[in-house]
Structure 1
Amino acid sequence: MKIEYAIIIKNKTRLESLTERFNTKAQARFYIESSGGNFQEYIDEHEQFCRSFLEIQTGLSKVIKNKVVEREFVPSYIFSDNNLIVVVGQDGLVANVAKYSRHIPIIAINPDEKRYDGVLLPFTVKNFMKGVYSVVNENFSSKRMRFAEAVLNDGQKLLAVNDLFIGISSHASARYRITLNGKEETHSSSGIIVSTKTGSTGWLSSIFNMVSGISGITNPGYPELNEDDLYFAVREPFKSIRTQTGICGGMLKKGSTLVIESLMPNNGFIFSDGIEQDFLQFNSGATAEIKLSEEEAVLVI
């Protein structure tokens, strides 16, 4: 299908968020500097992003019509098959957008190579138009990103490009019954992280970093995942006369399912890719099946 419109996805910079919080830039500066922070870093980061964004939008406008959508509106935005999605921001923004993209090609651009790792950002401000032309001409290479999915017993479903979190929306312990390969346990923990290969360098890696720091083990054995693997880790499991800690992590191969039954009367929830506003309620009576989804996103490379 012919590409007719580019949808540019961006997020607020830290400076913009601070200014919204304190009403003016001057008040934001006073707060940061009175706390001993370096406000100039926020300014430099913002100005670099604005320079990059202007260059990207100018380049796109010479080739294709486009409009800007802020990250906060992505969950409710309806993308069309004749769209091209252009993500400008950090790696996490790509994950936020991908699960709503409906197989529409995504061109992900790193606007600040000195600050952002760019694991999911194949393009820079200087070369992104090559990707645009390749999609417009229907001759592009891509990386397929597989999703994890949580499916509740009432049919509700949530997808994740990076990771799912199953737990409670407070600092209280999450209570649930977990079943894997016929083995069942009752848990009290800080929740469960389920990661895809795409997300394995993010939140999941921080759990292994914590293990390394506590145990003194230099290499705690980071999981080697492929696109058809998921990995789950139980955060801070508590052992008691009523709760167990035998199922604390492991690989979910294609076709495997992790079943979690909520034992939380309220505040239980499941969210994905850091977007807490887009969640499933997960209270007593709810059961979730966690597995690899058949759906995937298309990242242009």
Structure 2
Amino acid sequence: MSLAPRAVLVHRTTEYEELVARHGTHGQAAYFLSSRGRDIEEVARRHQRTRRAFAEVAAAIPLTWRQARVERGELDRFLFAPEDVVVVVGQDGLVANVAKYLAGQPVIGVDAEPGRNAGVLVRHRSADAAALLRAALSGRADELVMVEAVADDTQRLVALNEIYLGAAGHQSARYRLGLDGDRGVVEAQASSGVLVGTGTGATGWLRSVWQERGSALPLPAPTEERLLWFVREAWPSPATGTSLVSGQLLPAARLHLTVESEHLVAFGDGVESDALSLTFGQSVRVGVCGERLRLVG
């Protein structure tokens, strides 16, 4: 007998909850914010809107379904099952946070604060949760392309928006860069890091670098199997070059980086606490990930 679907509600601690946990009481949190020119009532109202949206989504789950709830900080310890329907209640970034832990489960993004979020990934309102949960079982979803980095010691990192490779503090990084298949085209570089992004990431950090660079490369669409990569602030010297500073990666292509600093990292979607640790001589390959994020609606 097959298991009933399980709705996994993903959320994050609100700013109000963090303030009260840190300062002990509402009054102490209010005093702290007032000393910095902020009003706790605005923070509390946002907290209430978020909690109402979460409660409305929870109430829409069919009685025959199972339920689970997971906070963002617990994602790396939560075991997702094949029959799960994942409902993210919060901001766009929370969808990116959960994406790397999934293996094809449908994801519904619910905007907890309409008007404050871009709504690229949290596309829906909490009032539509019942219909969206039914639709999730139909199998129809947008297949969003992700990016992966695989080190020579089998460390692997997957991200929805982008992967950054460089020094942990964004200082100068030394490495050798090349493209798989381009024999002999390898360049020693010193830069503030390499950014490899997807079409979903083209609404954020990748777009910022692309725009600042004035790149002629077209930005990919979220479902397009194509990545863009940029070297940030490459430094020319007698020992380092600047001829390989941008490009695109199709599904079969990989960007290859060999570490020539004492220590570099690779992290995804801005989460520096969950990073690959790379030491001198190690190599890492970055390209289109075989897995997709299945986003409903």
Q: What TM-score, normalized by structure 2, do the two folds share?
A: 0.90
SS at match of 2:287: strand
Q: Distance in 1 between matches of 2:174 and 2:44?
A: 43
Q: Is the 8 A contact 2:170 2:193 kept in 1?
A: no
Alpha-carbon distance in 2 for matches of 1:198, 1:279? 20
Q: How has the CA–CA distance of structure 1 residues 157 and 39 changed in structure 2, closer, same or farther, with 3 Å as cutoff?
A: same
Match of 1:116 in 2: 117
* Structure 1 residue 188, shift from structure 2 partner: 1.8
Deviates more, 1:28-37 or 1:138-147: 28-37
Structure 1 residue 15: deviation in Å? 2.0
Aligned position for 1:142: 141
Counterpart Cα distance in 2 of 1:141 and 1:276 = 33
Aligned to 1:201: 203
What secondary structure sits across from 1:276 in the alignment? coil
Q: How does 1:43-122 map to 2 (within 5 A)?
A: 43-60=44-61, 62=63, 64-122=65-123
Establish whether residue 275 from structure 1 lines up as the match of residue 271 from structure 2. Answer: yes
TM-score, L = length of structure 1: 0.89
5+ residue gaps in structure 1?
213-219
Whole-angstrom CA distance in 2 between matches of 1:281 and 1:238:
23
The DSSP-based 3-state class of the residue aligned with 2:75 is helix
Q: Partner letter of residue 205 of structure 1?
A: R
Q: Give 1:76 deviation, angstroms.
A: 2.2
Deviation, structure 1 residue 30: 2.5
Q: Which residue of 2 aligns with 1:166?
A: 165
CA RMSD of aligned residues (A): 2.0
Deviation at 1:90? 0.7
| Corresponding position: 1:236 with 2:230 | no
**Paired AA for residue 243 in structure 1:** T
What's the CA shift string for 1:172-197, capped at 9, x where partnerless?
A: 21221111334222222221111011
* Stretch deviating more after TM superposition (30-39 or 101-110): 30-39
Cα deviations by residue, 1:81-100 (Å, 9 ceiling, x for unpaired): 12211111111111111121
Higher mean C-alpha deviation, range 234-243 or range 100-109 = 234-243
How many Å separate the matches in 1 of 2:63 and 2:113? 23
Mapped partners of 2:7, 2:97: distance in 1: 17
Measured in 1, the distance between the counterparts of 2:33 and 2:153 equals 47
Aligned residue pairs total 291
Would the aligned equivalents of 1:91 and 1:118 in 2 still touch at CA under 8 Å?
yes
* Cα-to-partner distance string for 1:36-90 (whole Å, 9 max, x where unaligned): 2344332222121111111111222645231210111112211111221111111
Look up the equivalent residue of 1:228 and give its one-letter code. E
Q: Give distance in 2, aligned partners of 1:248 and 1:40.
A: 48
Aligned-pair CA distance for 1:171: 4.2
What is the letter of the counterpart of residue 143 of structure 1? D
1:248 corresponds to: 245
